[in-house]
Structure 1
Amino acid sequence: MSNIEKLLSQKAFDNEYTKGMIGLVFVGNWIVSRNQQFFKKFDITMQQFNILRILRGQHPKAANINMLKERMLDRMSDVSRLVERLRKADLLERKSCESDRRAVDVKITSKGLQLLKTIEEEVAQLDDVLKKALDPLEIAQLNSLVDKVLAQY
């Protein structure tokens, strides 16, 4: 009996593809839950962290809401709402775009950069799940397999 079958008290799956899909969903949810707990102590969400990292990559240039949406890990996020919450926390600033008044320019603040620096001193903990379970060859194989599945996206 596999670990996923034990964890779900499942006798057997119809086939290996179903087992693989359920295993990926289970592991994905477990990892998201761990990440949510990690970011709570910094008073931000995973999605807000993602936005701050994107903005740091753009720094000192501004980004716009559409670019943030395209680059988010969670494409279902309400980016405008997330940006507003980060603005209220002084982690980013937003202003009307000079070349297109309908668009909004978004930039990370020095406070946002400092928060990222603080978080990244501890963020390696999030990799521990994979580091404990997989050796370097296995993680490379996992990344290759994930890449192969993402080719269907």
Structure 2
Amino acid sequence: MSIETDIKQTTPFKTPYHRVMVNLIYTSNWIADNQTRILKPFGLTLQQYNVLRILRGQHPNPVKVSDITERMLDKMSNASRLVDKLVLKRLVLRTECPSDRRAVDVVITEQGLALLKRIDAHLTEWDESQRCKLTEDEAVLLSDLLDRMRS
């Protein structure tokens, strides 16, 4: 289905660049909505999930909150607040950094790792449903084009 059909646009876009920007925003929101539906039963937001994935990638090493902020997909997220919520859920531990008392180290717990493993199974199902829509070469090309747009 075309972007024009999805957003019920009856007049043509001014330029192909305008069309692609609207299409990217619409598609990004569509993907986020799908991921949000998958994460909801696990009691996580997309931003909390992003923090857990960052920590899993560094496990067993601790990560400073400032480093989490730099790596977040959503640059408007408040990593410190997200970490606090994940601490309350016992998915991460927050400790004072021994080398810099002003910094805070964060590490994912075994409970957090186990939760990500359960979520991974659901996200893999969604990934599989998308594979029939793009070939692997098309996925690589699309990713390369998006990288080029940001450069």
What TM-score comes out, normalization by structure 2 length?
0.93
Q: Which runs of 5+ in 2 are unaligned?
A: none
Aligned twin of 2:116: 116
Q: % of aligned pairs identical?
A: 41
Cα distance per residue 1:17-47 (max 9 Å; x no partner): 1111111111111111111111001111111
Which structure 1 residue ranges, 4+ long, deviate > 3 Å from structure 2?
none
CA distance in 2, matches of 1:47, 1:31: 14
Aligned twin of 1:140: 140
Cα distance per residue 1:34-83 (max 9 Å; x no partner): 11111001111111111111111211111111000011111110111100
Aligned twin of 1:61: 61
Q: Is the 8 A contact 2:38 2:122 kept in 1?
A: no
Aligned twin of 1:101: 101
Between 83-92 and 47-56, report the one with greater CA deviation.
47-56
Matched residues, number:
150
Q: Which runs of 5+ in 1 are unaligned?
A: none
Aligned twin of 1:149: 149
What TM-score comes out, normalization by structure 1 length?
0.92
CA distance in 1, matches of 2:140, 2:97: 42
CA distance in 2, matches of 1:149, 1:134: 20
Q: Is the 8 A contact 1:130 1:139 kept in 2?
A: no
CA distance in 2, matches of 1:14, 1:129: 33
CA RMSD of aligned residues (A): 1.4
Cα distance per residue 1:87-129 (max 9 Å; x no partner): 0000001011111111111111110111111111221133246
